[in-house]
Amino acid sequence: MKKGIKDRVAIIGTGVTKFGERWEKDEEDLIVEAVMEACVTANVDLRKDVEAAWVGTFYATTGISGSTLADPLKFYGKPMTRVENYCATGMDAVRNAAYAVAAEIYDIVLVCGVEKILDQGGKGLDVTMMFPHPILLGQSAPAIFAPAAIRAFKEWGWTSEDLARVAVKNHHNGAKHPKAHFRREIDIDTALNAPMVCYPLRVFDCCAISDGAAAVILTRPEIANDLVGRNNYATIKAIGLAVETLYPFHRPDYTGLSFPANVKAAEAAYREAGIHDPRKQLDFGVVHDCFTINELITYQDIGLCKPGEAADLIREGVTAIDGDFPINPEGGLKCFGHPIGATGVRMICEITKQVLGKAEGYQVKNAKAGFAHNLGGPLSVTMITIVGTPDWE
């Protein structure tokens, strides 16, 4: 790596729609809502100032190609690209945009992630398109993670209660977020007695099917100072992305106790940001808790604790919003659901708000830098973006 991304790109605008079952809205409504909020917070004029745009969508029913973004905004004639990379779709759109800004190809760019999952109908994510081979076995989204829970129960003595604690924590946090899909607290018995989705994962171990969109405006710090002032933007400190196989369960080194993409993406991100002790140097994180077991395994993979100790973190409240290292202070995917294209962009918005002290009602104390984490596909793609205040070292 020659220069890296650290402090070369500023996030000046964020926009997040209400997440949830948006039956009456289509992707056009959601894109316009998120992009306009982002432009207002960034103090930019879409048609005058934005030079290029990236859009993240996973499902073709939401949209393919740059026109997915251009049409709702009637914003034509600009370079626009659709990005897809499993559950890191939105965050990878941010990555592509950030690199274009850092390369000084453009000054101001727009990224929007959007997904209208409910328009597809059906139960759960339609992942059948992820497995184009007629024989080579795929699985539902929870079935990617459930076998890991079975191994963790066996190896470390974790229990369904430990998984439920993740759900209880995230629901506690999300109850305070005005844009969350689910805004109610749950207790551990509710989680433990919910219907089975994918053994041993029950309903509250799984995030919901939700619609939503999120947008960010990126520029370079020197331009950001002029547009929004030094206290109103965050800078990207690192972006780590690691891609692994679509078929992890055929690998002889699959253990279920660690997801290799997590480890490699974290290593890359920490190296770029200059982090050697994430628990000390960072203040909080937003983890891809599509399933509760995933949040726990990720604690370990990204170095928040040693293997086998993640359950202790959740039992002891370390990752609670008032704990030593809050995880998912906004409620996570557990409360926002997972409109795939939108999720990564939403997470970038959330960590930006936290470090700017604008996470009203769910603010982490003294948050100067935090990370956002996506794990997508069958353990195939992990992306970690670290964002902090401009003066964070």
Partner 1 sequence: MVGILSYGAYLPMWRIDRSEIANASGGTSMGGERTVASWDEDSLTMGVEAGLDCLSGFDPKEIDVLYFATVSSPFKEKQASSMIASALDLRRDVYTGDFTTSLRAGTLAVKAAVDAVKSGSAKKVLVIASDCRKAMPKSDFEQLYGHGAAALLIGEPGTIADIGGFTSVSNPIPGLWQRNEDDFLKSFEPKLDKIYGLLKDVPEAVVKLLENFNLKTSDIAKFAFYGPDPRAYQDLARILKIDSKAQLQNPLFEKVGITGTPHCLLLFIAALEGSKPKERIVCANCGEGSDAFLAITSENLERIKQKHRGTKHIFTKRMIQTYGHFMDFQGIRKTDWPPKHMRASVVKYWRDQKWEIPFYGMRCNKCGTLQYPIHRCCMMCGEIDNHQEVKIGNRGKVFTYTHDYILGPGLFPCDGINPATRVVVDIEDGCRLWLEMTDHKLEEVDIDMPIETTFRLIHQKDDYRFYSWKVRPVRS
Smallest separation (angstroms) from partner 1 to the CB of 63: 21
Does residue 137 interact with partner 1 by CB under 8 A? yes
Which of 39, 87, 112, 349 is catalytic? The answer is 87
Measured from the CB of residue 138, what is the shortest distance to partner 1 in angstroms? 6
Only one of the segments 19-27, 146-154, 165-173, 272-280 lies at the binding site for partner 1 (rule: CB under 8 A); that segment is 146-154
Instruction: Write b or e for each residue in 322-341: b if 16 or more Cβ atoms lie within 10 A of its Cβ, otherwise e.
Output: ebebbbbbbbbbbbbbbbbb
CA triple 50-54-55, angle to 5 deg: 125
Our finding on whether 3 is near partner 1 (CB under 8 A) is no
Among positions 96, 245, 281, 389, the unique one binding partner 1 when judged by CB under 8 A: 245
CA 251 to chain centre: 26
Residue of 81, 131, 183, 323 that binds partner 1 (CB under 8 A): 131
- Residue 305 appears among annotated catalytic residues: no
Residue 60 binds partner 1 (CB under 8 A): no
State which of residues 134, 231, 277, 391 lies at the interface with partner 1 (CB under 8 A): 134
Tell me, yes or no, if 112 is annotated catalytic.
no
For the bound state, the minimum distance from the C-beta of residue 168 to partner 1, rounded and expressed in Å, comes to 22
Does residue 70 interact with partner 1 by CB under 8 A? no
Binding to partner 1 by residue 122, rule CB under 8 A?
A: yes
Which listed range, 22-30, 116-124, 230-238, 322-330, lies at the site for partner 1 (CB under 8 A)? 116-124
Q: Which is nearer to partner 1, 179 or 338 (CB)?
A: 338
Q: Which of 67, 128, 361, 365 binds partner 1 (CB under 8 A)?
A: 128
Task: Using CB under 8 A, pick the residue from 1, 135, 226, 322 that binds partner 1.
Answer: 135
Among the residue ranges 37-45, 66-74, 198-206, 381-389, the one whose residues contact partner 1 (CB under 8 A): 198-206
* Site size toward partner 1, by CB under 8 A: 39
CB of 348 to partner 1, least distance (A): 28
290 binds partner 1 (CB under 8 A): no
User: Which of 30, 102, 111, 146: binder of partner 1 (CB under 8 A)?
Assistant: 146
Within 8 A by CB and 6+ apart from 153, the residues are 159, 200
Residue closer to partner 1, measured from CB, 77 or 252: 252
Decide: is 157 part of the binding site for partner 1 (CB under 8 A). no
**Which of 105, 137 has the CB closer to partner 1?**
137
Exposed e or buried b for every residue in 84-100, given b needs 16+ CB within 10 A?
bbbbbbbbbbbbbbbeb
Q: Which residues are catalytic?
A: 87, 338
Residues that bind partner 1 (CB under 8 A): 122-124, 127-128, 131-143, 146-148, 150-151, 154, 196-201, 245, 247, 249-254, 256
